[in-house]
Amino acid sequence: MPHISSSKTQPVYDVIVVGSGAGGGQTAYTLTMEGAKVLMLEAGRNYDPVKETPMFQTNNQAPLRGASTPDKPFGFYDSTVDGGWQVPGEPYTSASSDPARQFWWWRARMLGGRTNHWGRISLRNGPYDFKPYTRDGLGFDWPMSYEDLAPYYDKTEMLVGVYGTNEGLENTPNSPAGCLLPPPKMRAGELLAQHRAKKLGIPVMAIHRAVLSAKQDAENLPAKLHPKNAKAQRLIAKAMRERAACFWATACGRGCSIKANYQSTTVHLPPALDTGNLDIVTDAMVRAVTVDENGKATGVSYIDRKTREERTVKARVVVLAASSAESVRILLNSKSPRFPNGLANSSGLVGKYIMDTVGARLGGQIPALENLPVHNEDGAGGSHVYVPWWLYKEQHAGKLGFARGYHIEFDSGRRMPGMGSTSGLEGINGGGYGQQFKADARRYYGSFMSFAGRGEMIPNDDSFCELDPTVKDKWGIPVLRFHWKWSEHETRQAAHMQKTFGEIIESMGGKAGKPEATGAAAIEPGGKIIHEVGGTIMGTDPKKSVTNQWCQTWEVKNLFVNDGGAFCSNADKNPTLTIMALAWRSSDYLLEEMRKGNL
């Protein structure tokens, strides 16, 4: 079974999966490997990274030297198709005109969704991250512990391939032997930061990223991933052999034609299609989940974007993994006399407690990196190091003034030049031209570093989305209206980030840029970090949550939400690895319930 047109779908499937990114890809993979017949619906177009990725193109080969434009907000070579902060004809609205109260929603309309361009940073949530309410009385506990999800983190890391090290730091879990691939060597600026920040008590260690720093072990991993399933072992072994190790060139955000990093389109979908159990229909814009007279889901209705026809497809189980906000939108649009407020929403909580990651940045110029002897610093197409949150004890003792932590990501190195590569020079030499300008460009190239904080946001009552009462998209589907507000826990954290980054830069002998006067000015707008989670939060009480710990909606047993929507907290750790681990765990539960005849 393959990519098909909407007219070729089967009369009924075991499971319909809406969305093809981290959550949808993992769900389809797990289900089809175990023999379930799955239909995947993707709102965007088909996309093939093997054919479409600009691997070695240089900026002078792109329009505008690859600089960002409204058509391509992350630059010309970013892999995103038909997406960005705005999708033409598919608006969303904001309840407030105050810039600080707005949510920025990044969408991609392509097979694999945002997994094609993401940063590949793959950090496990730690034990504290599952019980934040118990720890400090804020937010919500997850209806599971770290130990419940740990086996799925193990499997996800083995399946997608993650490099990194185990340092045994607080709330920063080690992976068991055999899960992680070796980390790449640190770059010059990263090494210097590690050396100097140590004196500040700030630990710089190898980051975990979903990039194959070495070939996967196709001999031994398949049996660990799929014990007692010879067919699945054979298929994933084949898929692993078809992935090359990183060749240490080209940025991961372009996608990867040699399949060396994780994107759903190169890792989850090829083996899932190989099972013969997966149909994929692209250009399928899902409007609503359909239900029968007993309140059970029967399938979904969608609009074929090529023909503009409205179609329905049927299955025993429906899994939404359309991105947390898009899944909310589908549920709220699934209105019927029985469910006048939308589906799975008797608690009134669908759309509530949406979260992003706290982001703030500060850069500086490091004289020690000037005139660095020429060498290749491309590396793994992204950062090699990070700083995990290191002040748990001080924070728990109430010394920091904000309740949750952040980690630090680095921007450094002698990157491929493009627009803006010399824009920092004016601040140093005051301006100039001619022979001196060329000499300065050489001297200062690669001597700038930037640090970005990525911190935990606590869910709050003022951050939610709902259906806009009047606005519809070009398909006639009501759109989302966002409400947003940071609390002081987040703005104080952002101020702490900038203060810390200034100290790190100074410890390296550098000169930091000017920090913002307040945390509220330093913090990025909501949504800007593209770690959109929550909206269908999980819990133990049907009145206080939308799903149980299996991402299964309390109200409709055969309806699951396998994207970031079920997150009831958003640890500083980037969410994608947890989305995949959760989706795998929920899919195992779904299969078991189907076998038992409960679904």
89, burial (CB in 10 Å: exposed 0-12, middle 13-18, buried 19+): exposed
The least distance separating other proteins from the CB of residue 245, rounded to whole angstroms, comes to 9
Shortest CB 192 distance to other proteins, Å: 5
Nearer to other proteins, 152 or 445 (CB): 445
Q: Which of 335, 320, 334 is nearest to 289 (CA)?
A: 334
Q: Is 503 helix (H, G, I), strand (E, B) or coil?
A: helix
> Strands 297-304, 13-18: parallel, antiparallel or unpaired by DSSP?
unpaired
Question: In the complex, what is the shortest distance from the CB of residue 280 to other proteins, in angstroms, rounded to a whole number?
Answer: 17
Lookup result for tokens 């020079």: 425
In the complex with other proteins, the residue whose CB is nearer, 214 or 230, is: 214
Nearest distance from C-beta of residue 396 to other proteins, angstroms: 34
Cβ nearer to other proteins, comparing 385 with 591: 385
Identity of the residue, 7 or 376, whose beta carbon is nearer to other proteins in the bound complex: 376
Q: How far is the CB of 132 from other proteins (least distance, A)?
A: 37
We find the least distance from the C-beta atom of residue 595 to other proteins, in angstroms, to be 40
Tell me the C-alpha distance between 55 and 48, whole Å.
13
Side chain identity at residue 480, one-letter code: L
Structure tokens at 56: 């070695």
Closest CB 327 distance from other proteins, rounded Å? 20
The DSSP secondary-structure symbol of 420 reads: T
CB-wise, 46 or 229, nearer to other proteins?
Answer: 46
Q: Which is nearer to other proteins, 70 or 597 (CB)?
A: 70
Query: Quick count: other Cβ atoms within 10 Å of Cβ 52?
Result: 15
Shortest distance, CB of residue 439 to other proteins, whole angstroms? 9
**Pairwise CA distance, residues 135 & 66, whole Å:** 46
b (16+ CB within 10 A) / e for 24-50: bbbbbbbbbbbebbbbbbbbbebbebe
**CB 31, CB 593: distance < 8 Å:** no
Instruction: Please state the closest distance from residue 250 (CB atom) to other proteins, in A.
Output: 7
Of 70 and 99, CB closest to other proteins: 70
Residue with Cβ nearer other proteins (255 or 575) = 255
Instruction: In whole angstroms, give the CA distance from residue 554 to residue 544.
Output: 10
Burial class of residue 378 (count of CB atoms within 10 Å of its CB; 0-12, 13-18, 19+): middle
Q: At what angle do helices 188-197 and 488-507 cross, to 10 degrees?
A: 100
Q: Which is nearer to other proteins, 230 or 416 (CB)?
A: 416
